[in-house]
Amino acid sequence: MVATSERKHIAREWPPVGTTLTAKYKGKSYTAQIVEVKEFPAGRGVKYGKRVFSSHSAAAKAITPL
């Protein structure tokens, strides 16, 4: 196991604005889009339907309820 102080920082970059994201969950296809949102820390968000999420994981959680 690597000590926390030794871990390398992984750059997490967002796809370009306008990129379409697609996924299948339980046989149903979902499509979202990367949009510019200056109020969000990354300057981008994921738009699904009428909602815009500040992260990919937040959008995925909204689409795939438990």
Determine phi and psi for 49, rounding to 5 degrees.
65, -130
Distant-in-sequence, close-in-space partners of 47: CB < 8 Å, separation ≥ 6: 32, 33, 34, 35, 53
Residue 1 maps to a domain: no
Count up the domains in the chain and report the number: 1
* Average pLDDT rounded to a whole number, residues 37-46: 92
Dihedral (CA of 48, 53, 54, 60) sign: negative
Q: Note whether residue 6 is domain-resident.
A: no
Rounded CA gap, 66 and 62, in Å? 10
36 in any annotated domain = yes
Model confidence, pTM: 0.75
Indicate whether 11 belongs to any domain.
Answer: no
Contacts of 61 (CB under 8 A, 6+ apart): none
pLDDT for the residue numbered 46: 96
Asked, for residue 54, whether it belongs to a domain, the answer is yes
4 assigned to some structural domain:
no
User: What is the domain range of residue 47?
Assistant: 16-63
**pLDDT of 32 over the 90 cut:** yes
Best-predicted range by mean pLDDT (4-8, 23-27, 49-53, 55-59): 49-53
